[in-house]
Amino acid sequence: MAMYRALPAVALAIALLAAGAAIAQSLSDEKQALIAAKRDATAANARSAQYEAESARATEAAGKARAQAAAVAARIQAAEADIAAAEARIRIIEALRVRQRANLAAHQGPIVRLIAALQTMARRPPALALVQPGSMSDIAHVRALLRTTLPVVTERTQELRAEVERGRQLRVQADEAMALLKQGQERLQTERAGLVRLEAEQRQRSQNFTDSAMMESDRAIALGEKARDIVDLMRVLNDQASVRDRLISLPGPMLRPAVPGQAPPPPDRVPTPALPPNYRLPVLGQIVTGLGEVSDAGVRARGLTIRARGDAQVIAPAGGRIVFAGPFRSYGDIVIIDHGRGWTTLLTSLTTLSVSVGDQVTQGSPLGRTGGARPTVTIELRHAGLPVDITPLLGNG
């Protein structure tokens, strides 16, 4: 019988150990998320300061506007990282409060049972003294027992009071984390409104180029409708970029020689080495698929897929020229950037675009935003039409 009575206690101990292990793993994961969010926020704030300095040094209006927009986009990403850090901090505190409540219950149970037993012992001897001879000696024994037990009660209740105090501190920390979360959300809304104003001013300044931009945009839309798939679209745009690069590299017109037939031969065109661009991830989030990984549908990934926050800011991973911006098949709104020298970047699954075909962007320029609940953004970097692993380049940007 004793063995059967011990079974619930053993099961309870096992359950508590399992719950403790789960909470410890959750705390470890959330602490890593908090560290990553703080790192992202620090890096984004540093980029914002860098772009502000570039804006102050810029002499032309277009360069100044691009640097200002990149600075605001970096501040938006910093606010998103601050929000992610606050949310991770809240989850950490909640896990600590769950563990603290379990500890409180563990300390509280024996104390309650001990106090109840002592109260029963304290009440019974006076009643027994009326009916049992010699029960006054029992009362003396009870009082002696109480005097020796009180220090134990005090010691155990001290641990209980410490758990209660830890719970109060966790409540204060939770309130502080919620306040930081609210501040981050307000800052995000303010920075987004500022970016909308900058984009409106930039569109107003570029009204003179509306006709040529519309013609180029229409041509890009026609290419998108004609392309069979996104690989075909990337191939056509890459071919056009190669032709444009070759035309740009051609020498200018030569003067007529004084003596016909004595014109010098054209200089040999030295090919420019195709160095990879400075690169950085265009959106904050968690990488869920890497280059070459095979999905459940059997499709091999040609780039990185990042799970981001809802309405997350997407920036240009490197400078270049927008050669496609708009909806394409089932990929949502996509953006293709020609970085020159055969390098192109494809970004898919955007829902709001801030750029148009023909726009020149710098690294960090805002491209648009993602969709709603936990969207994914795919980034493909290509050189001469072939996929390139982005990971080794991330330190360059």
pLDDT (tens digit per residue) in 30-48: 899 899 999 999 999 999 9
Helix, coil or strand: residue 147? helix
- DSSP category for residue 175: H
pLDDT of residue 132: 52
CA 283 – CA 74 distance, rounded (Å):
10
Phi-psi region of 285 (alpha: psi -120 to 50; beta: other; left: phi over 0): left
Q: Average pLDDT of 228-240?
A: 74
CA 146 – CA 141 distance, rounded (Å):
9
CA distances from 144 to 119, 121, 123, 132, 133 (A): 14, 12, 15, 20, 19
CA 258 – CA 207 distance, rounded (Å):
46
pLDDT of residue 284: 94
Residue 388 has pLDDT above 60, yes or no: yes
pLDDT of residue 379: 93
pTM for the complete prediction? 0.73
Residue 365 has pLDDT above 90, yes or no: yes
CA distances from 282 to 164, 304, 312 (A): 45, 11, 10
Phi–psi pair at 338, nearest 5 degrees = -95, 110
pLDDT winner (highest mean) among 9-18, 194-203, 333-342: 333-342
